[in-house]
Amino acid sequence: MLGFSMCKTTKKAKPVEVNQPVEVKETQITTPSVTPVAEPIKEEVVVKEEPKKAEPNPDDLRKQVVNEVNAIAEEMVFELGKAQLNGEALKKLDAIANFIKKNPGLDFNIIGYTCDKGSEDANNVLFIQRSTYVKNQLINRGVKSENIKESKGIGSKQPLYVNNSETRSKNRTVRFELSR
């Protein structure tokens, strides 16, 4: 319901005649000024993908493991005419055992070497004793016997180093190769 209020006026309004011109004032309608809102900054995040590394060749990885095991074995030198290791050489066996255990999918052959001192018959027995000793020591250190396929020897016929006074002792050692 519409309500009217009555107010008292002191002046009388002039009557407007019908057909009399009426003065209309123009009023300007303004809209409130609107401050433009800044659009959010769109930042493109570009994620650079690192180039994919080529899958390592399994043969290369196997060779690398053998090279690392042999680098340790190179520091294991047997005493002249002996098939047992002692001191620091035994610690090297611990390192080799750990390496082989970390790579359980690889099977190894152990090859025994001798220097040219002693008879050929004695050296033929000695290189087998050395490779068998190392195999047994690795198994005692937790390497699975399945991972050591063969222990064999080459002896002094194919030395790793020239048999002279400087390098002869380096031939009293073992090396590892991957079993086929």
User: Above pLDDT 70, what percent of the chain?
Assistant: 72
Is 67 within the bounds of a domain? yes
| Residue 26 domain-assigned (yes or no) | no
- Residue that wins the pLDDT comparison between 169 and 18: 169
Q: How many domains does the chain have?
A: 1
**Is 35's pLDDT higher than 80?**
no
Residue 16: pLDDT above 60? no
pLDDT(26) > 70? no
Residue 94 domain boundaries: 58-178
Residue 172 lies in a domain: yes
- Would you list the DSSP string of 63-115? HHHHHHHHHHHTT--PPTT-----THHHHHHHHHHHHHHH-TT--EEEEEE--
Whole-number average pLDDT of the chain:
82
| Residue 10 falls inside a structural domain | no
Helices and strands, number each (H, E), in the chain: 3, 3
Confidence class for position 17, pLDDT limits 50, 70, 90:
low
Strand order of the β-sheet with 148-155 is 148-155, 108-113, 174-178
Q: Which tens digit of pLDDT belongs to each residue from 97-122?
A: 999 999 988 999 999 999 999 999 99
Question: Per DSSP, which regions of the chain are E strands?
Answer: 108-113, 148-155, 174-178
Q: What is the mean pLDDT of residues 140-157?
A: 91
- What does residue 174 show for φ and ψ, rounded to 5 degrees? -130, 160
Q: What's the rounded Cα separation, in Å, for the pair 134 and 83? A: 9
Q: What is the pLDDT of residues 38-86, one digit of tens each?
A: 666 666 666 667 777 777 777 888 888 899 999 999 999 999 999 999 8
Q: Rounded to whole angstroms, how far apart are CA atoms 50 and 48?
A: 6
Within a domain: residue 69? yes
Residue 106 belongs to a domain: yes
Q: Is 133 a member of any domain?
A: yes
CATH of the domain at 111: 3.30.1330.60
Residue 37 has pLDDT above 90, yes or no: no
Rounded to a whole number, what is the distance in angstroms from the first to the last CA of the chain?
Answer: 105
Residue 27 inside a domain? The answer is no
pLDDT of residue 30: 57
